[in-house]
Structure 1
């Protein structure tokens, strides 16, 4: 059925009511922390194709700059669920926050994350970045970890550069204006910067030891998970259908990107996409925490297993597709 959904993604499926084994969600309207990047495409597909509605959920997306600002909003209740990068979240957990991941979201492949410099910049490789200003979306995040890993390959460390923060959509402009010397970017901003201002990639930060690195998942506060187990389970079931569609039909992702990232369709059509995992695997996510320990972002080993909420049993009724009997 997942394959059939992907093949017919251009035909929006009609919702089919799905009730979990434990009844209706405790909270039927949820606010999801969102970012204007491909990482969150599966959630937007789940919303467009009414997978959330089929689970009794109405979702509202709220744009966040990154996991750093999102985590306090989860704690305060301003957000119910949010896309969170694993690095920032594991750091927060180690610092005493109580968080849970309910679903995996995105994994890197070559071409999806890069260090970029302006056209005609004297910086040709990361070795030239000593004393330079590098922009990331948020400090102490997947951006800073992969920047440091790249710098180490070229004989530098994080102490040799200045790290500053800017929202991802602002990166191409800040680079072109000379506000920063280099910028950590993800797609579609890599291609956008190259197309609009001639920005140049000096390193693929998801290569070598960072190849196939897990990037982000959907997280909640532990309190929200305890108070709303049926809501969480309903979200997991709906999102898993969005993840399956994103994984099996990349064009469905590219078609939905302009609607929430504000990028033109011609750029969305040609960007490389990462992987949309359909399961949360402890060993794969433990790799993130272990890498953080190796780069001294953590002072002691963090076991990620207690942070991962298991997926509920998928008891989905078949969803009819228009034009198919």
Structure 2
């Protein structure tokens, strides 16, 4: 990597966010250099309709991307794992994704070289929970030993947090036997139909299920070994960043400003119902919120890699620095 590219991506590395635009195109836009020198002025971003992605919606509505010369198209994805093949194929320029999926793919897929350009979301109490039906006989995570648990995606941040919470109390969960993939908006129905005994709920869906069907929390996964755990960030391929350093830096600057603005809870709770289908003002005002980091910190992210090794998601220790972008204009 040339010295001319070694400018900082980490310092202003920012944030994450996402925006929602279910009808957004997949990113077949042509390269269109902007008047302010960006290599590409129209980018496509993979996003999810969850609280974690509020900063990107803020950046869009407040004109922060536009101020940097960027037009951002968004494509909703089910989870970080779903964004990986789209990044790899070039259909997405940037994608929101949980760190477990990104790091796993980066280690196991020789054709994929992801680079984290911004941290997006860090957990806080009750942002990630294990929930059961109101009339469920299960009261603790120990009671769920051998049971079916709905998760967004297997072998990702959801299952890692469940397994990390279970281990101290002697409960081992099997990735294939115990976890059932259920999209977050469908978890309420999965509980009601009893197709699973519990779900790993992320906000705002956990609060929504509490209010709509009286779902109960049996474990706060954002505590103990995974308290304040880094959850997700934004990534691009190494190739994209090398070819579009100014575009990458512009994306980071806009997100960083939005991440800082997201420290205002009222702003986040007001914007959430505008892009998260089915989430009303009551849920947005009572749900739990995590934090939106405005810097990219390798030490913080190394925690994720170390827990991944502990539970066999990877076979060798990962040095997270190898997955952090360090070349943008």
TM-score scaled to structure 2, two decimals?
0.86
Show the 5 A alignment for 1:287-306: 287-306=303-322
Write out per-residue CA displacement over residues 116-146 of structure 1, whole angstroms, 9 at most, x where no aligned residue: 0011111111111122111111111100100
CA–CA separation in structure 2 for the residues paired with 1:164 and 1:198: 22
Deviation at 1:312, TM superposition (A): 6.1
Query: Displacement of 1:311 after TM fit?
Result: 8.3
| Aligned position for 1:177 | 193
Change (3 A) 1:49 1:311: farther
For residues 66 and 221 of structure 1, what CA distance do their matches in structure 2 show?
17
What secondary structure does 2:92 align onto?
coil
Question: Runs of 4+ in structure 1 displaced over 3 angstroms?
Answer: 310-313
Out of 154, 164, 167, the position equivalent to 2:183 is 167
- Are the counterparts in 2 of residues 41 and 253 from structure 1 also a CA contact under 8 Å? yes
Cα shift readout 1:244-275 (whole Å, capped 9, x = no counterpart): 1002x111111110011121011101112101
> What's 2:248 paired with?
232
Question: Which structure 2 residues correspond to residues 120-131 of structure 1 after superposition, within 5 A?
Answer: 120-131=135-146
Q: Which runs of 5+ in 1 are unaligned?
A: 1-21, 314-325
> 2:165 maps to what in 1?
150
| Per-residue deviation, 1:310 | 4.1
How many pairs align?
Answer: 291
SS in 1 for 2:219: strand
Residue pair 2:36, 2:69 contacting (<8 A) in 1 also: no
Answer whether contact 1:188 1:268 (CA < 8 A) is retained: yes
In structure 1, the residue matched to 2:100 is: 87
| Preserved contact between residue 242 and residue 327 of structure 2 (Cα < 8 Å) | no
Q: Which residue in 2 is equivalent to 1:101?
A: 116
Shift of 1:186: 0.8
What is the Cα deviation at residue 159 of structure 1? 2.7
User: For the residues of structure 2 that align with 1:162 and 1:109, how far apart are their CA atoms?
Assistant: 25
Identify the residue that residue 19 of structure 1 maps to in structure 2: none
- Three-state SS of the structure 2 residue aligned to 1:159 is coil
Q: Which runs of 5+ in 2 are unaligned?
A: 1-34
Report the alpha carbon displacement of residue 223 of structure 1 after superposing the two structures with TM: 1.5
- Distance in 2 separating the partners of 1:175 and 1:36: 20
Superposed CA deviations along residues 154-206 of structure 1, whole A, max 9, x for unmatched, are: 31112395111111111112112211111001111111101101110000011
User: TM-score normalised to the size of structure 1?
Assistant: 0.87
Secondary structure of the equivalent of 2:174?
Answer: helix
RMSD: 1.5
